[in-house]
Structure 1
Amino acid sequence: MPTTIDVFVDYVCPFCFLVEPAINELKRDRDVEVTIHPFELRPTPVPTLRPEDDYLPRVWEQSVYPMSRRVGIPVTLPSVSPQPRTEKAFMVLQLAHEQGKAEAYSEAMFAAFFQQDRNIGVDDVIIDIATSVGLDRAEVEEALQSEARRDRQRAAQDYAVNTVGIEAVPGIVVDGTVLRGVPSASRLKKVVDEVQS
């Protein structure tokens, strides 16, 4: 029986994009079922970060760019300022989940922000990304306006914080065990092996 892996991400977190090779290796080498969950780092009304301030360029120079080179995923600090909110993108993630396209959608969302410097908080951009992975335009537009989906996103955020105990992303939960930071593929496999033994 596959081991359950829950991966909590925010589309404005570069480490959530850079952990993908480790998760892909885990999926290739172990019997696991991976589910992507939303975790908005700075939900309304918390201000989002600005690339022209000191913090982001420093973190990127010290941590993001070295990790990017190590895992072989090219990324660039996006120029969008302030950084977009991701609630709407996560409302469409619900639709992507329903249609078995959550991983493709999430990967496209990360690529749009960190490789194409697109504002993933804007409806037109979200629609374009969603349709590029095969979601229906009318359904995406409907998802973006859906108060039920907005309520579900807020409930998912509450679940991540108050039930699972996620404080930062990526948050990877292996059969109930929360791993902090960006684990290597070998660490992920070791945790899965311990769970499965």
Structure 2
Amino acid sequence: MPITIYTDYVCPYCLLAEHVIEDVIEGLDVDIHWRPYELRPEPVPTLRIEDPYLPTVWKQSVYPMAERLGVPIKLPSLSPQPRTDKAFEVFAMADEQGLGHAFSMRVLQAFFQEEKDIGHAETLADLGAEVGLERKAVLQALADGTYREQHREALRHAREDMAITSVPTIVVGEQIFRGIPSPGELRRAVDRISTPAHATEVAVNPH
């Protein structure tokens, strides 16, 4: 059974959460599945680095957590932050080809480690090509809106069916973590995958 991460590619905690998950499932037959949840869909304004919120959160929470986990990460200087709908359209294409995990990780790394504009079609085509997609096909799919409705349905599922309100939200069998679980909490949840109980939720510093 997979571990499912509801994510937005502009959430640094999603990159950090993946490292916690990878450490816990090392050597186990568990897959990571990503699912989209836009924190600030159109027309909601995206965050700006000039406002106090982002620098404060990064100084007080993101950087200390990243240092503990040994994950290189930095607050991107892009302002306002890019929207992620196009990135998730490419994700739908990648996921269809079994490349969803690789693409999600590449986009998170590109934004938080290389400060690339993940809202730009050419950038997304480059990132898609790096994980095995055909670059021209990515650009054509974005231009045609091939995966737009699929992405909208994924957002509807996250909001309505799963009641997602923050990211990362991590689903392990019947357990739902809203935020980054500790390795111990996650390991116990993974151990219970084969014997599901009633769904429970654990709030752990959601973004």
Cα deviation for residue 99 of structure 1 reads 1.6
2:105 counterpart letter in structure 1: E
Quote the Cα distance in structure 1 between the aligned partners of 2:146 and 2:131.
23
1:90 counterpart letter in structure 2: F
Q: 1:50 aligns with which of 48, 57, 60?
A: 48
Cα deviation for residue 148 of structure 1 reads 4.0
2:106 counterpart letter in structure 1: A
Q: TM-score, normalised to structure 2's length? A: 0.89
Residues 30, 189 of structure 1: 8 Å contact kept: no
What RMSD over aligned residues (CA atoms) do the two structures have, in Å? 1.3
Residues 4, 172 of structure 2: 8 Å contact kept: yes
Cα deviation for residue 193 of structure 1 reads 1.8
Q: Which has the higher helix share?
A: 1
1:161 correspondence with 2:153: no
Match of 1:122 in 2: 120
Q: TM-score, normalised to structure 1's length? A: 0.94
Cα deviation for residue 35 of structure 1 reads 1.0
Quote the Cα distance in structure 2 between the aligned partners of 1:126 and 1:115.
15
2:40 counterpart letter in structure 1: R
Greater CA deviation, 176-185 or 128-137? 176-185
Quote the Cα distance in structure 2 between the aligned partners of 1:194 and 1:134.
34
Cα deviation for residue 17 of structure 1 reads 0.4
Aligned identity (percent) is 46
1:19 correspondence with 2:20: no
Which of structures 1 and 2 has the larger relative contact order (alpha carbons within 8 angstroms, sep 6+)?
Answer: 1
Q: Aligned to 2:2, what secondary structure does the other structure show?
A: strand
Greater CA deviation, 63-72 or 173-182? 173-182
Cα deviation for residue 194 of structure 1 reads 2.8
Quote the Cα distance in structure 1 between the aligned partners of 2:186 and 2:143.
37
2:145 counterpart letter in structure 1: E
Quote the Cα distance in structure 1 between the aligned partners of 2:35 and 2:106.
15
Match of 2:80 in 1: 82
Q: Which runs of 4+ in 1 moved over 6 A?
A: none
Residues 169, 181 of structure 1: 8 Å contact kept: yes
Cα deviation for residue 176 of structure 1 reads 3.5
Q: Aligned to 1:179, what secondary structure does the other structure show?
A: strand
Quote the Cα distance in structure 2 between the aligned partners of 1:29 and 1:22.
14
